[in-house]
Amino acid sequence: MGVKVPAAPHLYAVPYLPIGGIFDDRELAAVREVLTSGATLSQGVWRPRFEEAFRRYTGTRHAFSVTSGTVALHLAIHLLDLRPGDEVIATPQTYQATIQPLLDYQVTVRFADVRPDDANIDPDRVAELINERTRAVLLVHYGGAVAGMTSIMDLARRHGLLVLEDAAHALGSTLDGRRAGSLADIGCFSFHSSKNITTLGEGGMVTFDRDDWAERLERLRSNEADAVLRPARHSFGLSEAPVAGALYPGHAYTHDYVRIRRAGTNATLGEPAAAFGLVQMDRLPDLLARRQAIAGRLGEVLGRFPEVRPQQVTPGSTHAYHLFTFFVDPAAIDRDALIRELGAAGVQTYLRYFPLHLLPEWRARGHGAGECPVAERLWFGEHMNLSCQPGLSDSQVEMLGDALDRSLRKLVR
């Protein structure tokens, strides 16, 4: 039995994000079980179960759930051990959170331009930017299209660089049978309401193989566990014997830290969210199939227009279609007019993302126009995203395809 989600009144017949996540009685039953079990709502059995399912899916040795994709990126970047003066090569075409944590470090960001056929970081540009100060590469699988990982990991191994894949769009994408999140040194996921699965609206995951990172991340994400408390005296009258070496031997209830606490945070994903996420992992193949079917339908329409390039997929990879992306030939089609035309036909569009090197925080650090000509050319005249959210109904998908067809026919010069 499906649950009816009350549709918010919407200006568009085909909204970009139709509803906040896809779920039904299975997720509700899982959350109900957590809430009525009498068990703790934090640090219980559900989070390890969700992480285990995620590890099995991505094929990584470790998977640490956290409270958002942004927090996942903050913690993952912490593990990279960046030092003042280091350089980090990053894609300019991603959501700002991919590189936002770097604002806290005295590192130089070098933006490597993207490929015109998929908007992913261009391995050739990465190669040109590597020098003796380069320490890491931060990239995204744009929209769910896997980046050129074979070349990038080859470069990284030759130059001793760490690679972080922001896989927030790419849960379910594969390269040569391996899943996104396991293609680099460390992977980050988001379970925000709009992503391929959600954990009650917000959530994230960090994936990697290294055991030393696992030990550090366990402490980083739960600020209790980085220091072990020991009672100065055994409390509650069980024993009055002072513990040897206690700092305040006169006080029964004071505790000493065995280890000094380090910088960290509490990023624990709550139990109801983890239980919800576990069911979503079960549902993921269906959600991906729906996204791919919608993308297939839109791809059919685009195939009629030589003035349009669909986003290419890296050979050997599959696309999770978090975003449906294509590029217009600006000599033949006015991109901005296409957005207006689709809007008039009831189709909402939402372009992602404004090139990061042009954002004020990065311009203030010396970045600016001309630095990544391909990313700029795509963004300002060629780049289009359409919804391929699995919550679109069949009739909405038909409307979307028809509106796209009619708008392109009208606009092609």
Ligand X SMILES: *Cc1c(COP(=O)(O)O)cnc(C)c1O
Question: What residues line the site for ligand X (CB under 6 A)?
Answer: 68-70, 94-95, 97-98, 140, 166, 168-169, 190, 192, 204
Closest distance to ligand X from the beta carbon of 264 (Å): 18
Closer to ligand X by CB, 140 or 358: give it: 140
Do the beta carbons of residue 254 and residue 232 sit within 8 Å? yes
Nearest approach, Cβ of 269 to ligand X (angstroms)? 11
**What is the Cα–Cα distance from 140 to 152, expressed in whole angstroms?**
12
Q: How many CA atoms lie within 13 A of 245 on its CB side?
A: 4
Name the phi and psi angles at 3, rounded to 5.
-95, 130
Q: Which residue is nearest to ligand X (CB)?
A: 69
CB of 7 to ligand X, least distance (A): 23
Using alpha carbons, select from 362, 61, 325 the residue that is nearest to residue 187: 61
> Is-contact 152 137, C-beta < 8 A?
yes
CB 16 within 8 A of CB 349: yes
CB atoms within 10 A of CB 262: 11
Task: Count the Cβ atoms, other than its own, within 10 Å of residue 268.
Answer: 18
Question: Which of 144, 272 has the CB closer to ligand X?
Answer: 144
Minimum distance between the CB of residue 96 and ligand X, rounded to whole angstroms? 8
CB of 67 to ligand X, least distance (A): 8
The nearer residue to ligand X, 184 or 308, going by C-beta atoms, is: 184
Phi and psi at 309, nearest 5°, equal -110, 120
Shortest distance (Å) from residue 185 CB to ligand X: 17
Token output for 350: 């939402």
Whichever of 88 and 130 has its CB closer to ligand X, that residue is 88
Query: Which of 278, 323 has the CB closer to ligand X?
Result: 323
Least Cβ distance, residue 277 to ligand X (angstroms): 12
* End-to-end CA, the chain: 49
Spell out a b/e string for 392-412, using b for 16 or more CB atoms within 10 Å of the CB, else e.
beeebbebbbebbbebbeebb
